[in-house]
Each structure stands twice: as C-alpha cells, then as structure tokens.
Amino acid sequence: MEQHFILRLIGELQNSVDIFESKFEKLNEKSINMIYKNHTYPGIIVKLPCIIESQKTLDKKQYYKICDISTLIVIYPNSNYDFDKERKILELSGLSAPLKYVKARRFRKNHNGKAQMISEIEHQVNKLIEKDKKAFKTEIVGEDKDVSDTEISDIAAELEDNFEFNETKIKKEEQIEENTEIISLKNEIEKQEKLVENAL
C-alpha cells in the first residue's frame, strides 16, 4: 500500500511553485513547511471528515485501490493567516463545495420536541410506578356523583390545547437555534471569501 495525501496551494502559489522541486518539512502533527527556492511557506495538516480512496487504472476500465487518503495539507503564501481558525473550518468541511461544514451539519444537535415530551412522560410514569411499589395500601378515591360527558370533553380539550401550545413553543425555539447557526456559518464563509480575494 502507498501513502498519499492531498496538497492544496493557496493563492499565487498554484502557478509560481513547482511541487517536484519543493521539499516538505513536518514540524508537528498540525503544522508543516514547504521549502521552494530558499523560500519557506507555512502550512497546516488537516484530518479529513472521512477517508477517501485513491485508485489507479491502466485501461480506464478497471480501477485498483492503492491507498486510503485521510490527510489534507494546505500551504499558504505567508503567515498572515489564522491557522487555528483555518484548521477548524477545514476539519468540518469536505473537499468539494457542497461539503462545506458537512461535519457540523451531520452531527448537529437535533431538538425533537415530541421525543423530549415522550421521555418526560416516561420519566413521570416510572416515578409513579416506583411510588406505587413502595405503598402499603392502595385505595381509589372519587366523588359520588358521576362525571358528565361534557366535563370529560372539556378536560380533554384543555389538555390538547396545552399540548399544542408546548409543541409550537418548542418548534419556535428550534427555528431560532437553526437561524443563529446559519448566520454564524454565513459570517464564517464571508470572512473566508474575503481572505481568498485578498490573497488573489
């Protein structure tokens, strides 16, 4: 098996650097330098969100897997970049544009209102069962007069209204959380686009 990684050059380095004449110097698990014609360019090492297969072919019909790629190396033209911030963004994203922040979107917290209410109801029921087990004596106490159908329907309607109110409240809270996440992601994307424009 071979060892491969993906190399990404930022800005003017794409046209001005010959990779075959360059040397790489690994500083640690997160940082690396590229040396080309006595110039040192800083870079970062990023772990991709998922493993990518590298394949070879001789006849463009049959493909053979030669290794797994899990590392992305990004080389910058200078040290004016916030490398920690760049690394965090790249670790959450894939290689293509649709996979921007894919890790954050895939593993984001999903606040499901109904599931939360069901878990609360189960918790309360379990509490009642435990209290019932500890009781020495059980007795059913009720009023002598029979409850009319209208009273039962009123109670049911009131419970249903309370349930719908809680459900709409939870949905609004979820929408607010999603909107804040989207706004923060958009701000990060705009900052990155400005950095790319300045680099170009």
Contacts of 73 (CB under 8 A, 6+ apart): 5, 6, 7, 8, 24, 32, 43, 44, 45, 46
In a domain, 22, yes or no: yes
In a domain, 161, yes or no: no
In a domain, 186, yes or no: no
Supply 37's token pair.
């014609």
Alpha carbon distance 196, 193 (integer Å): 5
In a domain, 16, yes or no: yes
For residues 148-160, average pLDDT: 64
Instruction: Quote the mean pLDDT of the chain.
Output: 78
pLDDT tens-place string over residues 122-135: 888 888 888 877 77
In a domain, 134, yes or no: no
Inform me whether the pLDDT recorded for 95 exceeds 70: yes
For residues 110-129, average pLDDT: 75
For residues 90-100, average pLDDT: 81
In a domain, 164, yes or no: no
* Residue 26 belongs to domain spanning: 6-108
Confidence band of 152 (pLDDT split at 50, 70, 90):
low
- How many domains in the chain? 1
Residue 82 burial by Cβ neighbours in a 10 Å radius (0-12, 13-18, 19+): exposed
For residues 34-52, average pLDDT: 88
pLDDT tens-place string over residues 185-196: 777 877 777 776
pLDDT at 159: 64
pTM attached to this predicted model? 0.49
In a domain, 139, yes or no: no
Asked if 61 and 68 touch (Cβ cutoff 8 Å), the reply is no
Within a 13 Å sphere around the CA of 150, how many CA atoms are in the beta-carbon half? 0
pLDDT at 63: 92
Confidence band of 104 (pLDDT split at 50, 70, 90):
confident
Inform me whether the pLDDT recorded for 60 exceeds 80: yes
In a domain, 118, yes or no: no
